[in-house]
Structure 1
């Protein structure tokens, strides 16, 4: 199956980082998701109940990042991937987390992971 549901550039304000000052200020993370999802059923039915609810996914990702307050983007990515697979039934995903402004000479730094339910 090659169908997927996309969420790109989801901005989440949270505590993130390893330095003492980073643990005291909120910073912006950008989340991109490509989630494998069979879109044939919602494509035929035109019923949101048959679709992967990207609004619910977005809200859950933001809430989890805000409560997690990760030190490392790698940790945040793993936690989010596990959550999306367990709570939404996503079988395969590519997740990118970016931290804009973390390195002054770069637009953003980040991590990308790919995970598949086994």
Structure 2
């Protein structure tokens, strides 16, 4: 299985269940593993056959920031469904980190795996 990987994609958005969280932006960090056959792009050295990191990142930025979200679980599921439906990714692992969510941990997070 070939994978395209994005690590620590920073997205600043309104996220959280508490009232104080609903009025400020916080940083989320996404780790993505996306199954993508890179052989055709590599063989032809052809960008048009590759999964574009920038296009994926920009789309996720727009998706996650379009409205306030309460749960990082929702962010993970939205991200996975977007990658599968809009980018035709066959399999994806999404890990969403929310640093500073609890005092005694550097970060908290959720990880999901989805496939077509």
After TM superposition, the score normalised by the length of structure 2 is: 0.97
Q: Which residue of 1 aligns with 2:46?
A: 47
Partners of 2:24 and 2:73 in 1: CA distance: 20
Query: Which SS does the other structure have where 1:82 is aligned?
Result: helix
- Which residue of structure 1 aligns with residue 7 of structure 2? 8
Other-structure match for 1:86: 85
State the alpha-carbon separation in 2 of the partners of residues 59 and 69 from structure 1: 18
**Secondary structure in structure 2 of the residue aligned to 1:6:** strand
Give the whole-Å Cα distance in 2 for the aligned partners of 1:21 and 1:94: 30
Partner of 2:34: 35
3-state SS, counterpart of residue 90 of structure 1: coil
Residue 66 of structure 2: SS of its match in structure 1? helix
| Offset of residue 95 of structure 1 | 0.2
- Following TM superposition, by how much is the alpha carbon of 1:75 offset from its aligned partner in structure 2, in angstroms? 1.0
Give the unaligned 5+ runs of structure 1. none
1:68 Cα deviation (Å)? 3.6
Deviation at 1:47, TM superposition (A): 1.0
Which deviates more, 86-95 or 66-75? 66-75
Q: Compute the TM-score of the two structures, normalised by the length of structure 1.
A: 0.96
SS at match of 1:55: helix
Structure 2, unmatched stretches of 5+, are: none
SS where residue 29 of structure 1 aligns? Answer: strand
Q: Once superposed, which parts of structure 1, at least 4 consecutive aligned residues long, lie more than 6 Å away?
A: none
